[in-house]
Structure 1
Amino acid sequence: MHPSVVQLVVISDFTCPWCYIGLRELQNAIKESAAELQLTIKVEHRPFLLHPSLSEDKVSDKHEWYLEKFGSEKLEEVKAAVTSRAKDVGIEVIFTGSMSQTIRAHRLSRKAYILGGQELQEKFLDVIFRSYFTEGKNIGDFNLLGDLAEEAGVMSKDKAIEFLTSDECQEEVESMAAEARRKGVTGVPFAIINGRWAVSGGQTAEVYGQIFRKLAGKGPLHVIPNAPSCSTGSTGGCPGTAAATVKS
């Protein structure tokens, strides 16, 4: 008997382009696989802080930050890899604009999940990723976050700003991010499936589809390929490549 419900916990951060790309790949895989395989696939997105020591009020120039971390030659390689994958899934990623701490955005994401589950949370994820990667905006800004919360249907702008000026969901987000680190997560995106298997990196829809077919008892599970990710290692959270594993 195969499970009729598959539960995924996806750990990510909003400054990681592979998390944006990975979100689209996972959404595409669910659209393509769920009905065919008679699976209900539930997803909960949880926070990760690639820059935990960064002040919530500090704003950096994104392009200068990448240049400092990579150097111009390596940055061009990263940009080529990211923009190519982004184009494949129908999104645009730019490397200019503002870079800031993401904890405020994670708090709103968590609140969206509390209020409306996966559907509302992913509506917010769509607008926050678009704002950061396609429009280059500062996703630590209260007014912008209020606009995005209202656009996604989470709450009105005024209520979002009131929420952000409180400490609601602050401890929960910090605790979830710390728990991920304690459990050995050093790079994102990182997906936990049915509490038993882990898949790291920005995998393709095809890879997720293969996993779903295996869980539905309708196909083998092949070796999961390496996939790009953002890590907390020496590159300070910039895009890189990490091994991907599926394990119990």
Structure 2
Amino acid sequence: MRVDIWSDIACPWCYIGKARFEAGLAAFAQRNGNHDVEVVHRSFELDPKAPAATDLPVLDMLSAKYGVSRTQAEAMEARVADAAAGEGLDYRSDRIHGNTFDLHRLLHLAKAHVVQDALLGAFYRANFAEARPLADPAVLTGIAVAAGLPADEVARVLADPGAYAQEVRADERAAAELGATGVPFFVIDRKYGISGGQPAEVFRQALERAHADGAVRVLAAGEAEVCGDEGCAVPGA
């Protein structure tokens, strides 16, 4: 069984959704023994026009994007932080909003070295739990090397804007062809599409169904939170 997951490091519901999916996957594995599940992370940029080098605080970005006061933006972030805490995740609102293209290119390098999931998790922690400046090549390099990538290959990719660029664009085209307009977006064996940061039980049930039969079904987003071109859903907003 294979699960393709489209996400962006800047997406809080991708961060939360990853934890929920992993909980659902663990429950599925407990019920189905050692059935192998391959997980492939795919690229999706929420803000491809964001500058590569930036010092724009996320709260300022939210205020401008939604036309709300800083106090209202803080309240929005607090509700997302509560959702993250419910999954045992730390969440900070003093992070910087910026371009994620280089991070996606490094994730494709990580896929070639079979450490993609580890690097994505490290990027999420660095962004949401630690508010580290991910536009800084030195910070990116440190995170990538700690996740298992060779330092010389990381340096090569960061120095060459074309490295893995086609792979990132191919992922984004595939998402568009599947009709994905927001992330996280999960596809199980090209049979089940799941949009948004669904509860762990939804993921477990979808894995069970895909394992049991070959019918093509789509699980709609429903009330699940997603991030898209218009921004990220906020609980209780």
The CA deviation at 1:92 is 1.1
> Is the 1:11–1:189 Cα contact (8 Å) retained in structure 2?
yes
Greater Cα shift, 141-150 or 26-35: 26-35
Percent of pairs with identical residues? 26
Q: Quick one: structure 1 residues 56 and 175, their matched pair in 2 at CA, closer, same or farther if it must change by over 3 Å?
A: farther
CA distance 1:143–1:83, shift in 2 (3 Å): same
Measure, in 2, the Cα distance between the counterparts of 1:103 and 1:223. Answer: 28
Deviates more, 1:176-185 or 1:15-24: 176-185
- What is the CA–CA distance in structure 1 between the aligned matches of 2:219 and 2:5, rounded to whole Å? 21
Aligned to 1:239, which of 221, 232, 235?
232
Partner of 2:82: 84
Pairing 1:37–2:35 present: no
Query: Distance in 2 between the 1:177 and 1:163 partners?
Result: 19
Native 8 Å contact 1:143 1:161 kept in 2:
no
Corresponding position of 1:114: 112
Partners in 2 of 1:180 and 1:52 — Cα distance? 15
Per the alignment, residue 227 of structure 2 pairs with 230
What amino acid does structure 2 have at the position aligned with 1:97?
Answer: R
Distance, in Å, in 2 between the alignment partners of 1:114 and 1:191 is 21
TM-score (norm 2): 0.87
8 Å CA contact retained: 1:12, 1:48: yes
SS at match of 1:228: coil
**Corresponding residue for residue 17 of structure 1:** 12
Count of aligned positions: 227
Residue deviations 1:92-144 (CA, integer Å, cap 9, x gap): 1111121110010101111111221xxx1111011100111111122222111
Deviation at residue 52 of structure 1 after TM alignment? 1.6
Alignment of 1:160-239 (within 5 A): 160-166=154-160, 167-217=162-212, 225-233=222-230, 238-239=231-232
The whole-number CA distance in structure 2 between the counterparts of 1:228 and 1:215 is 23
Confirm or deny: 8 A CA contact 2:7 2:43 kept in the other structure: yes
The more displaced of 209-218 and 188-197 is 209-218
Structure 1 gap segments, 5+ residues each: 1-5, 243-248
Check 1:113–1:105 CA distance in 2 against 1; reply closer, same or farther (3 A cut): same
The Cα offsets for residues 171-219 of structure 1, whole Å up to 9 and x where unpaired, read as 211232233234422110001111122110011211111212223449x
CA contact (8 A) 1:100 1:138 kept: no
Deviation readout 1:41-98 (Å, 9 max, x if unpaired): 1110000011122232344222211122234465345323311221121111111121
Q: Matched residues in 2 for 1:33 and 1:211: separation?
A: 9
Contact kept, 8 Å, 1:106 with 1:173, in 2: the verdict is yes
Alignment of 1:115-130 (within 5 A): 115-116=113-114, 120-130=115-125
Residue segments in structure 2 that go unaligned for 5+ positions in a row = none
Q: 1:64 to 1:41 in 2, by over 3 A?
A: same
Counterpart CA distance in 2 for 1:161 and 1:169 is 13
CA–CA separation in structure 2 for the residues paired with 1:198 and 1:8:
10
| Distance in 2 of aligned mates of 1:171 and 1:217 | 35
Taking a change above 3 Å as real, the CA distance of residues 147 and 193 of structure 1, as seen in their structure-2 partners, is same
CA RMSD of aligned residues (A): 2.4
Distance in 1 of aligned mates of 2:219 and 2:174: 30
